[in-house]
Amino acid sequence: MSKQSGKVAIVTGANNGIGFETTVGMAEAGFHVVMACRSLEKAAAAKASVLARIPSASLEILVLDLSDLTSVRGFAQAFRARYSTLDVLINNAGILLYSAQTNADGVELQFATNHLGHFLLTALLIDMFPDDSASRIVSLSSIAHKNANTHFDDLTCGQDGGVAYGQSKLACLLFGDELDRQLTASGKSLKSLTVHPGGSDSGLFNDLDEATRANMKEQVEQLLHSNEDAAKPSLFAALSDQVKGGEYYGPTGPEEMSGKTWVATRNPICDDHGLAKRLWRLSEEMTDQTFAI
């Protein structure tokens, strides 16, 4: 992967897990990294940890709560006030809940955080990307999307948090694919790519009680890889000159939980471009934002 300098990247959820290691990788590549995080305190601690590993790292923290559309708009306004261009946006942040929760607007919290917040953030910043093949929008999906569907009639998925998580991660993949199709149709060189991190303990078990969390980790621990390895698909999509717009990258080992990064397996429902367009229209309605390419 080539070294960059003078370029700007945003990593959402940069303060822990995969987002932290992605921030480290982007800083090592020479990017100025804007750490988009919900908690200033946690972000400051993460920034100090990055600087301890990479003293030359160029970092800034901006507050972003993806579940709150007002916060997303505030972040975009603050970013635009500080920067004239954006080279890479890594839509990394995500939550996994096993209980039914909604945001302040009554929207299922995982759909709001994992998909809608990133949809709005991308829409608000899309015009800041140089029209260059090195410009990238990277959206994180999950292997949990493979058995998922979009429940347009009930985004809470019957109050089932696990089903709703799969729905939200399918939405991330459908969005990334549709975005690249629209960019291509508009003659843009900017690439939209999607990735999945495989299996890692990146805080996604935090909604469980201690006993259940320990039991689940014990069942899957042998399949998990480190957060550093889990960040490799994101870094590959953001930095490699081997990638193609619209592709979906992730670990290619057993069950796609770990292993070498390359083209990953999609849920066949992703071939339904009409579904992706329907989700796009719904996302515009729910965010009250026209997404102009």
Tell me the β-bridge partners of 62. 36
User: Is 292 contained in some domain?
Assistant: no
Can you give the pLDDT at residue 174?
98
> pLDDT tens digit string along 98-138?
888 999 999 999 999 999 999 999 999 999 999 999 999 99
At 255 the three-state DSSP class reads helix
Total of domains in the chain = 1
C-alpha torsion angle, residues 256, 257, 261, 266 (rounded to 10): 40
Total Cβ atoms within 10 A of residue 283 = 22
Question: What is the C-alpha to C-alpha distance for residues 99 and 24, in angstroms, rounded to an integer?
Answer: 32
Helix (H) or strand (E) holding 63, with range, is strand 58-63
Here the tokens at position 292 are: 């102009």
- Which member of 98, 165, 248, 249 is catalytic? 165
pLDDT at residue 11 is higher than 90: yes
Mean pLDDT of 73-100: 96
User: Is 204 contained in some domain?
Assistant: yes
Can you give the pLDDT at residue 254?
79
Q: Where are the beta strands (DSSP E) in 174-279?
A: 191-195, 248-251, 261-263
User: Is 181 contained in some domain?
Assistant: yes
Can you give the pLDDT at residue 16?
94
Can you give the pLDDT at residue 219?
46
Helix (H) or strand (E) holding 90, with range, is strand 88-91
User: Is 15 contained in some domain?
Assistant: yes
Poorest-confidence range of 8-17, 35-44, 55-64, 200-209?
Answer: 200-209
Helix (H) or strand (E) holding 229, with range, is helix 227-230
User: Is 229 contained in some domain?
Assistant: yes
User: Is 1 contained in some domain?
Assistant: no
The range of the structural domain enclosing residue 15 comes to 8-287
pLDDT at residue 253 is higher than 60: yes
Can you give the pLDDT at residue 109?
97
User: Is 166 contained in some domain?
Assistant: yes
Total Cβ atoms within 10 A of residue 76 = 19
CATH code at position 14: 3.40.50.720
pLDDT at residue 7 is higher than 60: yes
Taking phi over 0 as left and psi of -120 to 50 as alpha, with beta for the rest, 159 belongs to: left
User: Is 2 contained in some domain?
Assistant: no
Which residues are within 8 A (CB) of 260 and not within 5 positions of it... i.e. 6 or more apart?
251, 252, 253
Active site residue 83: no
